[in-house]
Amino acid sequence: MNFAIPRNKPKDYLLYIWKILDLPSISFEDLVYRISFNLFLDKHEEAKTFINHALEDNLLKKDSEGNLTLSPGLKDYFEGWQEKRRKTILDNIEKKKKSNAVIKNFAHVKTDFNVLLKAFLDKGTLNRAAPISNSAIEILEKNLESGQIKAKVAGSKEEPYILEIDKQQQEIVHNCHDFVERRAKNKKFCKHIAKFFLFLKDEEETTTLKILKDLAENMEYWEFKED
Domain termination residue (choose one: 109, 136, 160): 109
Can you tell me the distance from the alpha carbon of 17 to that of 9, in angstroms, rounded to the nearest whole number? 12
Helix (H) / strand (E) element for 106: namely helix 72-108
- So what's the pLDDT on residue 1? 46
- Please say if the pLDDT value at position 54 is more than 70: yes
Residue 3: its pLDDT value, please? 61
When computed from its CA atoms, the radius of gyration of the chain, rounded to whole angstroms, is 26
Q: What span, in angstroms and rounded, lies between the C-alpha atoms of 175 and 50?
A: 50
Q: Are 157 and 99 members of one domain? A: no
Claim: this prediction has a pTM higher than 0.85: no
**The pLDDT of residue 137 is above 60:** yes
Range of the domain at 184: 111-226
Last residue of a domain, one of 109, 138, 169: 109
The CATH number linked to 81 is 1.10.10
pLDDT over threshold 90, residue 202: no
